[in-house]
């Protein structure tokens, strides 16, 4: 879509709409045609609501920063009356909502033309998107044998393949940043409570989950964050106020920053050599910009955090499954293996364990806050290796704990992202590397709690150097 209309990103497209050089209907037609061409191969777009989108255009779109731009919601959260959801699960297939979520209200006010949803793994648990409810795995347009990541994998695949210029996602353990890394996109996780959760949830996964976006540019993300930021009515927590807008923050470079460069995992384990090379290249780039880069490791209980995260998410999964079952038996045709395993694990926990785990997460957040006494930014890889092959993280196993924390589990593959969901600190994946086999490699940047503006300004500074991946995936809408 961007190539067809000579645009760099959604902001460019919106300018063309504002100048009447292209109409919202033309853009919607292009998005639908791109989906028809590409989606049978990537399996990223579901629950298409073309009539809703055309009615919205006919009625008159809000005069927002992205008026007329085609858009997709993740098929998990972002509850909307006009957009039923499977939530990645056969148990919750065709769920309808009686009111719109606060995040969808704010997204709609930007003027986007929402016309469907994108695939997600069951329960949003996992670094791949292969839910049975969609009839097959979602695939990476860079290489169909590999995953686009998870849990916002459908969003990543749809944007990378050119079906839409940007899309909604959410991130409870890296679920925006992992697809960004796998698909060569930008993904930003804001500070905890920066975006609204209500009214369907008080907080996601004890405050570890938050909405976000998959984009081609920092400015698209910055503008969407500005449009959506702020608590909804009755929010239990409020993020520290911004000193200026995200869009204003990216208009000039940040101050020169002290950067902790981590070329291993946060516990010192070696990562894939091609990924390590990308981290070292990013460190040299930041040094060339005048930032002070020093090797290091964050001093925090990473293992304890991962165990607490695993228990909290198991309890959250169990709650959702039991509620949706409504007394029916738990059977494989309704819930996949990982979901059944999560429920079983949750029900084996002591009744006090949930609050104990939340307390451990909060203690971990204090440890991570102290790490930033000695640095302003932590630089690492987003994933410990290039994008995994399809099937590696399928939800067939019932060993939920091993799936998450085992030697071949999610945390071994993605040891960086969940750290900042637990701490609540802002973090981003920027597309700054490619593997020898032609798969994107993301670089991860994280900042202190509340320092969203400085972090996104750094991302914009890096983007302007031209160091981002500029190649296009082989599978891209014509």
Active-site amino acid positions: 74, 151, 175
Length of the chain, please?
478
| DSSP structural state of residue 296 | -
Answer whether 298's CB lies under 8 Å from 370's CB. Answer: no
Which stretches of 287-338 are assigned E, i.e. beta strand?
292-295
Answer whether 168's CB lies under 8 Å from 78's CB. Answer: yes
Q: How far apart are CA 372 and CA 54, in angstroms?
A: 48
Q: How far apart are CA 339 and CA 172, in angstroms?
A: 16
**Cis amide bond preceding 199, omega within 30:** yes
E strand or H helix at 427, and its extent? strand 427-434
Task: State the sign of the Cα–Cα–Cα–Cα dihedral 266, 272, 278, 284.
Answer: positive
Q: How far apart are CA 45 and CA 157, in angstroms?
A: 9
Residue 67 makes CB contacts below 8 A (sequence gap 6+) with 14, 17, 18, 24, 61, 110, 111, 112
With H, G, I as helix, E, B as strand and everything else as coil, classify residue 377: strand
Residue 373 makes CB contacts below 8 A (sequence gap 6+) with none
Answer whether 389's CB lies under 8 Å from 454's CB. Answer: no
Instruction: State how far the alpha carbon of 208 is from the alpha carbons of 50, 157, 170, 360, in Å.
Output: 33, 24, 11, 13
| Token reading at 20 | 């009447």
């Amino acid at each position: 879509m961007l190539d067809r209309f000579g645009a760099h990103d959604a902001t460019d497209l919106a300018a063309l709409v504002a100048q009447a050089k292209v109409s919202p209907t033309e853009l919607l037609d292009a998005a639908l045609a791109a989906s028809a061409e590409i989606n049978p191969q990537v399996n990223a777009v579901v629950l298409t609501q073309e009539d809703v989108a055309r009615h919205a255009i006919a009625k008159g779109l809000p005069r927002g920063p992205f008026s007329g731009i085609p858009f997709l919601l993740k098929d998990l959260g972002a509850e909307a009356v006009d957009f039923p959801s499977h939530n990645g699960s056969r148990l919750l297939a065709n769920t309808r909502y009686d009111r719109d979520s606060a995040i969808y209200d704010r997204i709609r006010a930007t003027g986007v033309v929402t016309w469907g949803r994108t695939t997600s793994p069951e329960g949003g648990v996992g670094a791949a998107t292969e839910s049975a409810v969609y009839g097959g795995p979602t695939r990476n347009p860079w290489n169909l044998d590999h995953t686009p990541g998870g849990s916002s994998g459908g969003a990543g695949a749809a944007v990378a393949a050119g079906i839409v210029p940007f899309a909604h996602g959410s991130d409870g353990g890296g679920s925006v940043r992992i697809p960004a890394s796998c698909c060569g996109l930008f993904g930003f996780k804001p500070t905890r409570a920066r975006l609204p959760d209500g009214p369907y949830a008080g907080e996601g996964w004890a405050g570890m989950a938050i909405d976000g976006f998959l984009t081609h540019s920092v400015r698209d993300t910055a503008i969407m964050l500005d449009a959506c930021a702020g608590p909804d009515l009755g929010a239990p927590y409020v993020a520290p106020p911004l000193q200026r807008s995200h869009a204003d923050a990216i208009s000039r470079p940040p101050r020169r920053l002290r950067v902790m460069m981590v070329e291993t995992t946060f516990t010192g384990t070696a990562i894939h050599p091609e990924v390590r090379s990308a981290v070292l290249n990013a460190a040299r780039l930041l040094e060339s910009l005048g930032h002070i880069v020093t090797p290091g490791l964050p001093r925090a209980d990473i293992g304890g955090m991962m165990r607490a995260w695993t228990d909290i998410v198991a309890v959250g999964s169990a709650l959702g499954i039991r509620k949706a079952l409504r007394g029916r038996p738990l059977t494989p045709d309704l819930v996949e293996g990982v979901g059944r395993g999560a429920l079983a694990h949750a029900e084996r926990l002591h009744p006090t364990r949930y609050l104990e785990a939340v307390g451990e997460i909060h203690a971990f957040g204090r440890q991570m806050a102290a790490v930033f006494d000695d640095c302003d930014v932590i630089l690492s890889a987003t994933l410990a290796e290039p994008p995994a092959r399809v099937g590696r993280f399928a939800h067939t196993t019932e060993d939920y704990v091993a799936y998450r924390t085992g030697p071949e589990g999610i945390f071994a593959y993605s040891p960086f992202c969940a750290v900042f969901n637990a701490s609540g600190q802002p973090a981003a994946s920027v597309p700054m590397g490619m593997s020898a086999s032609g798969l994107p490699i993301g670089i991860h940047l994280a900042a202190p709690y509340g320092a969203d503006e400085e972090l996104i300004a750094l991302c914009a500074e890096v983007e302007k150097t031209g160091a981002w991946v500029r190649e296009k995936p082989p599978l891209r809408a014509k």
